Amino acid sequence: MSSRITRPWSDGPQHPRLADGDVDIWHLTLPSSWNSSCDELFGLLDQREQDRARQMPRPADQASHVVAHAGLRDVLGRYLGAAPQSLRFSTGRHGKPYLADTRLSFSLSHTTGGALVAVSIPGPVGVDVESATGPDRSALADRFFSPREAQVLRTTPESDVPSRFLTYWTCKESFVKALGLGLSHPLNRFEIRFTDAPRQAEIWSAGRRRDEWHVRQLELPPPYVGAVTVRHRPRHLRTWTWRPQSVARPALPTP
């Protein structure tokens, strides 16, 4: 992925334009508890999204869900010139959401305290973000990684294993999300190979390099680790920050 990165994490524009080959990444800060912004953003969600928030037992999870999905709607609405609450999502065979009648491809990932939205023309695109403050999951490598990837972790200095694991994990997850196959595509069926180019990686499967896919590790504010995968060679990779204060919100009921 030899794209040029511009405007690192500045506030995103209200009317962004995306040309063929561009990829935009938006960073969202998620609240740790329900607040007044959640009350207002709740009205941007459709019935299914609202019901899912209500079913979550922890207020912190409700707040994260509302802000992440309202943020996704607002970001997409900016590209399409549409009100966030007017968007109607369809769902692919394996559960990946999409918008009909547009070439815009998108992906959402969220973790404790933060989320990423990737937007691309053309698609597909997949993004993943993880927090380095979470539990060490490197023991999962033998189960979910290819033999080569697991061996790399075994030869990594112990203090670097958790961060190295997350680097592999986010690259792999972003690829699976771009495929739109979810858990039906085992993570150990392909492998990530890092190149000499900074923050770039390749997808290998069945003994060959998948040249149509381009993977890039993202430079995120701590403690986050993230990656994006897209099925074209990006012309530009732009990184933006989304803030809930910039959204025009309708006055609708809260949960």
Residue 119's domain is classified under what CATH number? Answer: 3.90.470.20
For the chain, percent helix, then strand, then coil, each to nearest 5? 35, 30, 35
CA dist 224 and 70 (Å) reads 21
Pick left, alpha or beta for residue 152 (phi over 0 → left; psi -120 to 50 → alpha; otherwise beta).
Answer: alpha
251 in a structural domain: no
The token duo for 83 is 């009100």
61 in a structural domain: yes
Q: What total of structural domains would you count in the chain?
A: 1
181 in a structural domain: yes
At 4 the pLDDT is: 53
- 141-200 residue pLDDT tens: 999 999 999 999 999 999 999 999 999 999 999 999 999 987 778 999 999 999 988 899
The answer to whether the CB of 24 falls within 8 A of the CB of 240 is yes
In whole angstroms, how far apart are CA 211 and each of 77, 195, 230?
32, 13, 11
Is it the case that residue 212 has pLDDT exceeding 80? yes
Q: How many CB atoms lie under 10 A from the CB of residue 253?
A: 8
At 179 the pLDDT is: 95
Write out the H or E segment, with its range, that includes residue 91: strand 90-91
H-state helical runs in the chain = 36-41, 47-55, 59-80, 141-144, 147-154, 161-179
17 in a structural domain: yes
- 101-115 residue pLDDT tens: 999 999 999 999 999
Relative to beta strand 90-91, strand 97-98 is antiparallel
Instruction: Tell me the residue range of the domain where 241 lies.
Output: 4-246
255 in a structural domain: no
- 34-81 residue pLDDT tens: 999 999 999 999 999 999 999 999 999 999 999 999 999 999 999 999
60 in a structural domain: yes
Locus of tokens 């539990």: 135
CA 182 to chain centre: 13
